[in-house]
Amino acid sequence: MSINNSNQSNDYVVLGNDGLIDISSGTPIAAEGYSDGFGAGGPSNPNGGKKKIVIISAVAAAVVVVLGAAGVLLFQNLNKESEAAKQSEEFMYAENTVVSGVDISNRTVELAKKLLERNEDKFVTPITFDIDVNGKNFQLKEADFTYTYNIDDVLAQIKSDTEKNQLATDENGKTTYTITAAVVDDSITKNVSKLCEENDSEPKNAYVTDFKPYSENRFSFEEAVNGIKVDAKDLSTKIKDGFSKGNSVSKIAAVTETLKADMDAETLESKLVKLSTYETYSTNTENGTSNMKVALSACNGSVIKPGENWSFNSCTGDSNLESNGYKSAHVISEGKIIDGIGGGICQASSTIYNAAVRANLEIEERHNHQWASSYVPTGLDATIDYPNLDLVLSNPTKYQMFLECRVEGSTLYASFWGVKSDKWDDIHTRNEVTDQGSKSYTVRAWRIYLKDGKEVDSEELFKSTYDLDYGVVFIAADNDAKLGGSGSDSNSSGDNDSYYDGGGGGGGGSQSSTPQSSDSDPVVETDPPSSSDASSDTPSQSSQEEPPVVPEEAGGEGE
């Protein structure tokens, strides 16, 4: 902006190149005829002198006001900056201030803290723990643990002492403070737990390393091994004490507990008994009996570990193959009796099944035949159809169980050995027909636990449903207390619950679950038992002639 030249009598102010404004009225004036003293034209004004004075005075007053306001603002800003400068002045540690060997002189609290945190390892006192665990030595060092540090507390104390002029200096003119490293309890626990895992062991009972069925010395043994348990609480306390004492080496003898094995070799040998034995008599063909012998030979010598499953099919392999030693005998295919490879092995599996029931093995899988069998009590048969139908048993005890089985002449034998429970003395079986329809009937079976001659428990086994093509065939398992039996293996009175209605079978099974010594092998029979010495599972021969063998289940290797 410029003021008109003093040689002109105009009261106008030049606004750049856009023209003039009349100060008195505020309206723009055209540039024509106007002269600003520099050759430009403009209108004349007779009162030019007075207006010049007004303009100059107004401008001067405005300048004073603007400068005054600017001065006030500048003064206020200077005061604020001064206050900010005072407030931004942080505390700094004095010269020659040393914390656990770390010089923090002339550093703010924040910088001093970061410096100390970078040097935390220097604040831990070196220590070695030599730990003896039953003659084995283990070592832990300070680096194996974690710690907390009182850095914040020490820095706060130094600041407080500085502000109170209470800083103490040593002979070298240095002010020294110490950081304390405190071991974290959880890190002690983790180290102790790891050491316990490496040393703790469960006791191992003696066990059989070799089983030779039917030999004079059936079993070879591995001796028991006791377990060990480290006292974790005692060890943790001793490690804490070692840190508290501050010694560079801390020797510790860990306290341990010996965990005794339940069974040593001598005790195991004395407790291993024959838990059960079961035998059946074959009236099958020569090939059928041969197949039974091959199957039982494959199962003979089986060892079932605690909690382990045992499978008949896994032992025998594919019983449909001649290459596995099986011959052609009667089998059932789609409800018809034909000749096929492996016929007869169902009697082998049924013999083992009945021995297993009386030895208290768990029955995981078992299937009944299409028609009731003649060689075992009804509802206590076990058919096989490789690989579809299987007999699967499991060992519910803490000790190994052993199976020995064989065929001598026409008699099949199966026995289980193991450690007998003290909850029962003997196991018998019971069965009954529970439902009969127009085409089939159902038989339920139980095992009965006896103690001191009295029933103390019972367990229902698998239900069995049989076709009525040959009528109702029922062979009673009447060697139990409920029916007046005393647990003997024979009943020649003929007064049992066995009966045949339109069909029949021959050669019932003989059983015992009374523990026997290793010298009491079953008596080998080469001839079928007579009616006078037949088992209680055999139908009464006084009222009926020996009926023909009842065919086995459809779809399986039967006879």
- Coil, strand or helix at 299: helix
Tokens for 229, please give them.
């348990």
Q: What is the pLDDT of residue 535?
A: 34
Of the residues 53, 86, 119, the one at which a domain ends: 86
Residue 367 lies in a domain: yes
Mean pLDDT per 10-residue segment, the chain (559 residues): 45 48 52 46 50 53 58 53 53 96 97 97 96 97 98 97 94 94 98 98 97 97 98 98 95 98 96 98 97 99 99 98 97 81 97 98 98 96 97 97 98 98 96 95 98 97 95 82 34 42 42 44 32 33 33 39
Q: Give the tokens for residue 258.
A: 């010996």
Is 201 inside a domain boundary? yes
Predicted local confidence at residue 416, as pLDDT: 99
Could you give the CA distance from residue 253 to residue 246 in angstroms, rounded to a whole number?
Answer: 18
Same domain, yes or no: 344 and 413:
yes
User: Do residues 380 and 450 share a domain?
Assistant: yes
Whether 322 contacts 340, CB under 8 Å: no
Q: What pLDDT, on the 0 to 100 scale, is given for residue 333?
A: 73
- For residue 290, how many other CB atoms are within 10 A of its CB? 18
- Do 127 and 46 lie in one domain? The reply is no
**Cβ contact 352:405 at 8 Å:** yes
Same domain, 325 and 209: no
Q: Which residue carries 């091994």 as its tokens? A: 225
Pair 450, 367 in one domain: yes
C-alpha–C-alpha distance, residues 442 and 440, integer Å? 7
| DSSP at 374 | S
From the DSSP assignment, how many helices (H) and strands (E) are in the chain? 9, 32
Residues 53 and 176 in one domain: no
Same domain, yes or no: 121 and 194: yes
One-letter amino acid for residue 28 of the chain: P
6 occurs within a structural domain: yes
Q: Is the pTM of this model over 0.85?
A: no
Residues 253 and 274 in one domain: no
550 phi/psi in degrees, rounded to 5: -85, 130
pLDDT at residue 548, rounded to an integer = 36
- Do residue 43 and residue 122 come from a single domain? no
Tell me the one-letter amino acid at 503.
G
519 within a domain of the structure (yes/no): no
Residues 385, 446, single domain; the answer is: yes
Write phi, then psi, for 462 (nearest 5 degrees): -65, 140
Same domain flag for 96 and 122 = yes
- Quick one: pLDDT at residue 41? 46
Task: Write down the pLDDT at residue 514.
Answer: 44
What's the pLDDT tens digit per position in 406-437?
999 999 999 999 999 999 999 999 999 999 99
Report which DSSP code applies to 171.
T
Same-domain pairing of 291 and 155: no
Two tokens, residue 481: 């207390």
Residue 309 is predicted with a pLDDT of: 99
252 in a structural domain: yes
Q: Provide the sign of the torsion angle of the four alpha carbons 408, 412, 417, 423, taken in this order.
A: negative
Q: How many structural domains is the chain composed of? A: 3
Q: Strands of 28-29's sheet, edge to edge?
A: 2-3, 12-14, 20-22, 28-29
Q: Which residues contact 180 (CB under 8 A, 6 or more apart)?
A: 123, 149, 150
Q: What is the CATH number of the domain that holds 118?
A: 3.10.20
Note down the domain range covering 133.
Answer: 91-213+225-259
> What is the DSSP-derived secondary structure letter of residue 93?
P
CB contact at 8 A, 479 and 472? no
Q: Is position 543 within any domain? A: no
Residue 290: both structure tokens together? 């041969």
Q: Are 102 and 122 in contact (CB under 8 A)?
A: yes
The answer to whether residue 185 is domain-embedded is yes
> Would residue 496 count as lying in a domain?
yes
